Amino acid sequence: MKQKKNVVLVVDDEPQIRKLHSITLEAHDMKPEEAEKGGEAIRLAVSLKPDLILLDLGLPDMDGKDVIAQIREWSQVPIIVCSVRDSDKEMIEAFDLGADDYVTKPFNPDVLIARVTANLRKAAAQEAGEPELVNGRITMDLVRHEVKIDGERVDFTPKEYDLLRYFMVHRGKMLTHRQILHEVWGAAHGSDTQYLRVYISQVREKVEPDPSSPDYIVTEPGIGYRMEVMEG
């Protein structure tokens, strides 16, 4: 029996970019579908129920961020923005609206596919409802509230545990300072970035092979943090 291919909706008003995306996706055994306008993308997201959306922001009929906002009203499909807009402000706005990742043009196709694969894997795991989260040397037992690093149990304070869990659930996704603070500490702490930095440092001390040069929780300057997807 043939395995079901992941459907990726490519939204871009430039035909050559859509073609490049489609060729790259097909080479990695995915099924591309194309849209050149925002309204068309929203309609196809409803009818096709794609596994992932690659979205340009500069569309002829509406801004891509409005596409994100409308789709997030009813769907948690992974959305990767692929845009020439490279300012921190644009990225933060896209992430706060619900984008899962952001790749700036011109892009390396291998990097794009790695991001696509990581987001598809994460979405599939969330749908399955894991009692255990695993990323490289880190294992979190969500039933026992235990964390093991390289198979050895390591103690975490309740807030450190909540922070690590948030990163593990959203591994591979760029997370803004405000998103992390809002979800882990609550709305009142939305601007306490120094507070967050202290906790990030504490968690890195426990999970990183070399906390001074982190591999797992990496800093995205001016935006936030990302937990990289690591092999076991």
- The predicted-structure confidence for 97-144, as pLDDT tens digits, reads as follows 999 999 998 888 999 999 999 888 877 766 656 678 899 999 998 867
Per-residue model confidence as pLDDT tens digits over 56-104: 999 999 999 999 999 998 888 999 999 998 899 999 999 999 999 999 9
130-227 maps to CATH 1.10.10.10: yes
**Residue 122 corresponds to which amino acid?**
K
The domain locations on the chain are 7-127, 130-227
Instruction: Say if CB 96 and CB 180 are below 8 A apart.
Output: no
3-state secondary structure of 205: helix
Instruction: Say if CB 50 and CB 8 are below 8 A apart.
Output: yes
Determine the average pLDDT of the residues in 190-206.
Answer: 90
pLDDT of residue 160: 93
In this predicted structure, the answer to whether residue 51 has a pLDDT above a threshold of 50 is yes
Order of strands, edge to edge, in the sheet holding 174-176? 174-176, 224-227, 217-220
pLDDT of residue 127: 62
Q: Tell me what the pLDDT averaged over the chain comes to.
A: 90
CB atoms under 10 Å from CB of 180, counted, come to: 22
The CATH H-level (homologous superfamily) assignment of domain 7-127 is Response regulator (3.40.50.2300)
In this predicted structure, the answer to whether residue 33 has a pLDDT above a threshold of 50 is yes
Give kind and range of the element (H or E) at residue 134.
Answer: strand 132-135
Q: First vs last Cα of the chain: how many Å apart? A: 29
Give kind and range of the element (H or E) at residue 48.
Answer: helix 38-48
**Structure pTM?**
0.66
Q: Which long-range contacts (CB under 8 A, 24 or more apart) does 83-89 make?
A: 83/56, 83/57, 83/58, 84/58, 85/57, 85/58, 88/222, 88/223
